[in-house]
Amino acid sequence: MDEVFLEVFVDFPLYRKTNKPDRLTEITPKQYPLKISEEQIKEAFENLRKKYANKGYRIVTAEINGSKCLGITRKDGIPVFFDVKRGRVYVRERDVINNPEWTAVIVHYRLTALKIPLRTKRIRIEELDV
Mean pLDDT taken over the chain: 91
Tens of pLDDT, residue by residue over 11-25, are 999 999 888 888 999
What's the rounded mean pLDDT across residues 56-76? Answer: 92
Share of the chain above pLDDT 90, in %: 77
- What's the pLDDT score for residue 93? 95
Q: What pLDDT band is residue 1 in, cutting at 50, 70 and 90? A: very low
Question: Within a 10 A sphere around the Cβ of 73, how many other Cβ atoms?
Answer: 18
Are 123 and 22 in contact, with CB atoms under 8 Å apart? Answer: no
d(CA 51, CA 102): 21
Percentages helix, strand, coil for the chain (3-state, rounded to 5) are: 30, 35, 35
pLDDT at 130: 56
